Amino acid sequence: MWLVEDYSVDEYKKSIIKEVENYDRCVKIEDAQPHPTDEFKRRSLLGIHTQPQEVKVRVGALVPSSSISFKEARVIAEVADNYSLEFFNMSKQ
């Protein structure tokens, strides 16, 4: 934030581009996120669903208040760690 204030948006952008180009990883910086070219597929958000990667699933849960505490997030992460491999092994049978 302060760098942008000190340099201006254009100068800051130029310095970021220069820095990224020095990494020599063929990264291209765009002015905006490119529009998707693949077909949009609506997906169900709630429940357990497979993902394109063979070994991954996603779980969607409803959070009525639109937010959860860090303690609740840790419990969810613990449940995911404890049951993710078990579910994967069951789905392969």
pLDDT for the residue numbered 75: 92
Burial class from Cβ neighbours inside 10 Å (0-12, 13-18, 19+) for residue 13 reads: middle
DSSP helix/strand/coil, 49: strand
The string of pLDDT tens digits covering residues 64-82 is 877 889 999 899 888 888 8
Cα angle: 47, vertex 52, 57; to 5 degrees: 35
Average pLDDT of the chain to the nearest whole number: 83
The string of pLDDT tens digits covering residues 20-56 is 888 888 888 888 888 888 888 887 889 888 888 877 7
The residue that leads in pLDDT, 88 or 31, is 31
